Amino acid sequence: QLRGMKLIKNNDLPPGIKIDIVEEVLRGRVGSFLNVGGLDDKMTLQTIAVNESPAGIPLIFAQDVIHGFKTTFPVPLAEAASWDLEAIKRSAEIAAREASSSGVMWTFAPMVDISWDARMGRVVEGAGEDPYLGSQIAVARVTGFQGDDLADSHTILACAKHFAGYGQVLAGRDYNQTRISKRFLHDYILPPFKAANDAGVATVMNGFNDFDGVPVSASKYLLRDVLKGEWGFEGFTVSDWNSFAEMINWRYAENRKHAAELAIKAGSDVDMISLVTIENLEALVREGSVAESMLDDAVRRILKLKFKLGLFDDPYHYFTEGLEEQVVFAPEHLQHARTLAANSMVLLKNQQELLPLNKGQYTNIAVIGPKDADSLSLLGAWQAAWNTDGLVPFTEGIANAFSNSKVTYAVGVDGDPVKNKTEEEKALALAKDSDLIILTLGEGFWFAGENTSLVDPKLPDNQVALAKKIKALGKPVVVVLATGRPLVFPWVRENFATILLSWLPGTEAGNALADVLTGEINPSGKLPITFPHHVGQAPISYLFKETGRPDTDKGNVTRYLDAPNRPAYAFGFGLSYTQFKYGPISLSSSKMRPDDTITATITVSNVGKYDGAEVVQLYIRDEFASVTRPVKELKGFEKVFLKKGSSTSITFEITEEQLKFFNQDLQYVSEPGEFSIEIGPSSDTTASVSFKMTSE
């Protein structure tokens, strides 16, 4: 066995490990690592920890495995657009399987932050704007990563982040303060965390933001009262990166020692990298500023999960030589990445029914646009490998599918990331020769992820300029919008008849796109986040409140002078190649007592020309309440596949639970009164029936 002391003496360390790190492990001052390269390095450090550190406690190895490890799935926001919980769970399961084969035992995912703001590029990592959908997806991801048994070498610890409010940073500027009320927190921010907790999430990460005047790493209210108190969370919490020390910049902690004291007292357990706790906790406990029981509690939580991971039975069970090569990019993983990417795509416009494309019809297809050149961006932010191994770019996928056509590619724009001025001419020449243009637009790799806030999240000007020239050619054009956040693109939206939102689809990008273009897969994605008409509408959500002066009234009503209130594309929106018809809603009863269950049933028919899947969405509106309520809230959905010409009847159960909200005393209650129900293909639906809930 490798021995730390010997390694140091002989200076025989693997290239990924530095001497001072080994010394820290030998002294027992490290409990977990983040981003340690391969299996060998992890094995070396684990051996030293187990055999030579004072207590012999095994280490945990962590990494941000966010949407796949080597097989990269669509970015999380895109996956959310599939509204397919089983498929999302499976993607997390595969990510865990691949990551664990490289010795990773803990991922910093899922991000369950609810955000209403396209300015914040970090929305790419969440599940969008809605707490109900967000909660369902949080559960799918947590159970996918963690499986049924954490001691299984193929499952890893999940981490719900960022607790709490990070998705609501003021003005959409990453790391900024928040200005949300406790009500907003409870109504919209906490539900996915609560759902993750109820699903057994092992760990929870704090955020960089503050809440109600307190940096959340030091929020006793959030960590001790809500998470560990009211919800009974049994795992451990971790800072986000340097967030403990950053409390000094917030001018909330006086110095590093104070930061450590504030963090542990509030219920923070693990310090990701700031080191303020390892430097100061012993002294804080000895001098009586921090109760020893608090330290014990944090340690107990961490040890418990190390036991659950099976590390005390076998600290090496995650390290199987040769397994990674067998597991990563396994055919079934790639197949899932392809199907999920296709099922995440959202058809925004198909006015002339150009799609699906007839494979035999085109002799010369020109793929134009910056996406394939900026190929990392097709994988999206957060990759385990930072390379494009295995990636099928758009053009390659299209060429595979249209094997009898000539398929050519040109980047077209001379801005970032490609600097060549002649590119536009080349692209226009190819486009002129073609009988079909696939125009792939979207922001560059560095524009959707952490720290990518924009005041103006629009399609870059040079791409719009190119789009205008392409349009002028008068050829059939499919616009493919590859973005990780809602973009504002009025000219393109108004001037092209065919727009497909591909998001950032991951490893199988090209094949998935081709599947959708050819109709192999009929698009069924629905937006999990509103696409604004103008950035000035941010923050925007379908969960708005009517106000005392609704914009349906005349005169001085809540509206803009220079833009509509409506978004460009509403939450839940997405077209199909086929058409679905919704019948009337039939309610099992127009009255319900709090302990009753009533049902709402609707017939959905596929009346179009293709087989296809539809996400049938249930919205409930509280007509009158003791606090102001949103116009409607998503309370159920079902994704159904319907052959052309067929119908199905879908029944949603309605119970008191779906009618509850936080009252003025922040108690989660239902109130008797009238509720309306809408069932439809998006949040932009009105046909409704209503029922009354009685008090008993």
Contact 416, 347 (CB under 8 A): no
Q: What is the Cα 461 distance to its own chain's centre? A: 27
Q: Which is nearer to ligand NOJ, 450 or 596 (CB)?
A: 450
Contact 83, 639 (CB under 8 A): yes
Q: Which is nearer to ligand NOJ, 113 or 508 (CB)?
A: 113
| Least distance between ligand NOJ and beta carbon 401 (Å) | 36
| Least distance between ligand NOJ and beta carbon 260 (Å) | 19
| Least distance between ligand NOJ and beta carbon 217 (Å) | 12
| Least distance between ligand NOJ and beta carbon 662 (Å) | 27
Tokens at 576, concatenated: 């199909």
- For 343, phi and psi rounded to 5 degrees? -75, -10
Contact 130, 115 (CB under 8 A): no
Tokens at 464, concatenated: 């719009």
- For 65, phi and psi rounded to 5 degrees? -105, 100
Q: Which is nearer to ligand NOJ, 272 or 311 (CB)?
A: 272
End-to-end CA distance of the chain: 69
How many residues can be counted in the chain? Answer: 696
Contact 382, 64 (CB under 8 A): yes
From the candidates 64, 84, 210, 240, which is the catalytic residue?
240
Integer angstrom CA distances of residue 491 from 389, 441, 459, 497, 652:
35, 13, 10, 12, 40
Count of residues touching ligand NOJ (by CB under 6 A): 6
At position 696, the amino acid (one-letter code) is E
β-bridge partners, 276 = none
Q: Is 108 in the site for ligand NOJ (CB under 6 A)?
A: yes
Query: Which residues are CB-contacts of 116 (< 8 A; sequence separation ≥ 6)?
Result: 129, 168, 529, 530, 538, 539, 540, 541, 543
Integer Cα distance of 654 and 677 in angstroms? 10
Q: Is 329 in the site for ligand NOJ (CB under 6 A)?
A: no
Q: Which is nearer to ligand NOJ, 242 or 462 (CB)?
A: 242
Q: Which is nearer to ligand NOJ, 113 or 187 (CB)?
A: 113
Integer Cα distance of 453 and 618 in angstroms? 33
Give the CA count within 13 Å in the CB-facing half-sphere of 546.
15
At position 447, the amino acid (one-letter code) is F
Q: Which is nearer to ligand NOJ, 381 or 499 (CB)?
A: 381
DSSP codes joined into one string, 373-422: TTTHHHH-S--SSSS-TT---HHHHHHHHTTTSEEEEE----STT---TT
| Least distance between ligand NOJ and beta carbon 63 (Å) | 8
| Least distance between ligand NOJ and beta carbon 381 (Å) | 11
| Least distance between ligand NOJ and beta carbon 241 (Å) | 5
The continuous run of DSSP H or E covering 617 comes out as strand 612-622
Q: Is 652 in the site for ligand NOJ (CB under 6 A)?
A: no
Among 40, 152, 198, 450, binds ligand NOJ (CB under 6 A): 450
Q: Which is nearer to ligand NOJ, 174 or 638 (CB)?
A: 174
Catalytic-residue membership of 240 = yes
Give 655-688 as a 3 state SS string.
CHHHHCEECCCCCEECCCEEEEEEEECCCCCCCE
| Least distance between ligand NOJ and beta carbon 104 (Å) | 13
Residues within window 274-293 making contact with ligand NOJ, judged by CB under 6 A = none
Integer Cα distance of 388 and 251 in angstroms? 42
Residues within window 191-250 making contact with ligand NOJ, judged by CB under 6 A = 240-241
Q: Which is nearer to ligand NOJ, 112 or 190 (CB)?
A: 112
Tokens at 657, concatenated: 């639970």
Query: Which residues are CB-contacts of 21 (< 8 A; sequence separation ≥ 6)?
Result: 30, 45
Q: Is 522 exposed, middle or buried (0-12, 13-18, 19+ CB in 10 A)?
A: buried
Among 70, 119, 161, 336, binds ligand NOJ (CB under 6 A): 161
| Least distance between ligand NOJ and beta carbon 112 (Å) | 11
Q: Which is nearer to ligand NOJ, 221 or 382 (CB)?
A: 382
Residues within window 12-71 making contact with ligand NOJ, judged by CB under 6 A = 64
CB-closest chain residue to ligand NOJ? 108
User: Interface with ligand NOJ by CB under 6 A: which residues?
Assistant: 64, 108, 161, 240-241, 450
The residues annotated as belonging to the active site are 240
